[in-house]
Structure 1
Amino acid sequence: MITIIIAEDHQMLIDGVTSFFEYDEDINIIGTVNNGEELVKLTLLKQPKLVITDIRMPIMDGIQATRKIKEKYPHIKILAMTMFDQPEAIKQMLDAGATGYILKNSGIKMLSKAIQVVAEGETFFDPNVAFNFMNDYIEGNVNVGKTEKVVLSNREKEILQLIANGKTSKEISESLFIAKTTVDTHRKNMIRKLQLTNGNELVKYAIDKKYQF
């Protein structure tokens, strides 16, 4: 049985992951928290086999929390689940002690695979992160997940860029001379394609990915 604690400041994502693994005989989520400080406290109390943590969180980020956990209990495995694909973020998580790194939009199946691999003491990485950087930085075998490339239409990319710039659906509709309902439909389609949970996740995705079209 793989016991897990999840740290994520978006409760809907926690709820979705928890619901998916509710009846899994091999995975048991024994706690969830919304910030790094609570993650450290709960991890030291319950000592799970694996921790899944975001990087950007209130009070204490995932990098600091990972470092504190690994200093106290080096046998606990850490899997980062985040929107950050920048090499510096990956390096900092690896330096802190993480042995897995996946993006939130990679889907629940890849998360399930990552959990199994990292819990067994191996290294797992999302194929969409900076793989050349990983080859230079990590010694030994690296498990890399498989995923289909997400294809957004030109209009979706255009709208995503405006979302990243802080525009509302009404402002986007006025800027592109289309109906607000059309913008809302594009938002829903992008959330589905990117396997996100809600509009807030789409905004965070647009900002964190720093789309340049």
Structure 2
Amino acid sequence: MITVVIAEDHQALIDGIKLSLKMEKDIRVVGEANDGEMLIELVQDKRPDVVITDIRMPKCDGICATKAIKAAFPQIKVIAFSMFDQPEAIQQMKEAGASGYIMKNSSLDKVIKAIRTVALNGTFFDDNSFETNRSTKDNIILSSREKEILRLIGEGKSSQDIADHLCISKNTVDSHRKNILKKMSIYGKTDLIRFAVERKYDF
């Protein structure tokens, strides 16, 4: 039996994965965490075979949590779990000791394959998805102002905060936000914020 702990700050996503994995006779979810500190404590208590962790989480991100987990329990396998492909972040997860990386929009079959692969001391990096998404995004050109606004969104600033910081109107900021959403094919405020936080590696 492969025991798994999932760390993700969106509970609905955890619930979906848990429900899907219930059908697998050789995999059992033994714990869940919504932030990095909780994940480290849970791993100390449950000692799972595999940890699936979001790269971006409150309190302690997936990179720091992975370093702590691998330092204390080198036998535990860690899979990075991300909404967006981030070469720098993925590289840092590898250096921290992660054995795999999958995108959050991956199929259940891919998630299961990743779990089983790393549990057998293999590695599983979603290279095909990564290369496809990365090449597509490399062709997207943001203006210097859009990049600046995206960076400020990633720092947690509101549209009004950004407007005050850049000495422009809030309407102008909102217009730039809409353009970024359209260029990146992102469809909601929450996803834009998460994207901005993860894309900070590119600035």
Q: Could you say which TM-score interval applies, normalised by the shorter chain?
A: 0.5 to 0.7
* Higher share in helix: 2
> Using the alignment, how far apart are the partners of 1:89 and 1:204 within structure 2?
14
Quick one: distance in 1 between partners of 2:115 and 2:74?
17
* Aligned residue in 1 for 2:109: 109
Shift of the alpha carbon at 1:206?
Answer: 7.9
Q: CA deviation at 1:4?
A: 0.3
- Structure 1 residues 107 and 205, CA gap change in structure 2 (3 angstroms): farther
Distance 2:62 2:51 in 1: 10
Q: Structure 1, residues 165-209: CA drift from partner, whole Å, max 9, x if none?
A: 999xxx9xxx8xxxxxxxxxxxxxx88xxxxxx984576358757
Please tell me whether the aligned partners of residues 83 and 209 of structure 1 are also in contact (alpha carbons under 8 angstroms). no
Query: Residues of 1 paired with 2:102 and 2:23: CA distance?
Result: 23
Of 188, 191, 194 in structure 2, the residue corresponding to residue 204 of structure 1 is: 194
SS in 1 for 2:105: helix
Once superposed, what is the RMSD of the aligned Cα atoms?
3.8
- How many angstroms does 1:109 deviate by? 1.9
1:59-97 Cα offsets, whole Å, 9 max, x none, are: 100100000010011000000111242221011101110
Q: TM-score, normalised by structure 1?
A: 0.65
Alignment pair present for 1:68 and 2:68: yes
Determine the structure 2 residue equivalent to 1:5: 5
User: Where does the alignment leave 5 or more consecutive residues of structure 2 unmatched?
Assistant: 137-145, 160-170, 176-185
Structure 2 matches for 1:128-143, cutoff 5 A? 128-129=129-130
Percent identical pairs in the alignment equals 49
TM-score, normalized by length of structure 2? Answer: 0.67
For 1:121 and 1:71, how far apart are their aligned partners in 2? 17
Residues of 1 paired with 2:198 and 2:105: CA distance? 12
Q: Structure 1: how far apart are the matches of 2:191 and 2:26?
A: 28
- After superposition, residues 137-176 of structure 1 pair within 5 angstroms as none
Q: Post-superposition, which runs of at least 4 consecutive aligned residues in structure 1 deviate over 2 A?
A: 164-167, 198-210
Unaligned 5+ segments in structure 1 are 132-146, 152-160, 176-189, 192-197
- For the residue of structure 1 that corresponds to 2:4, the secondary structure is strand
Instruction: Quote the Cα distance in structure 1 between the aligned partners of 2:30 and 2:42.
Output: 10
Tell me what 1:54 maps to: 54
Q: How many residues were matched structurally?
A: 172
* CA–CA distance in structure 2, aligned partners of residues 84 and 100 of structure 1: 15
SS of the residue aligned with 1:118?
A: helix
The amino acid across from 2:194 in the alignment is: K
Compared CA separation, residues 16 and 201, structure 1 to 2 (3 A):
farther
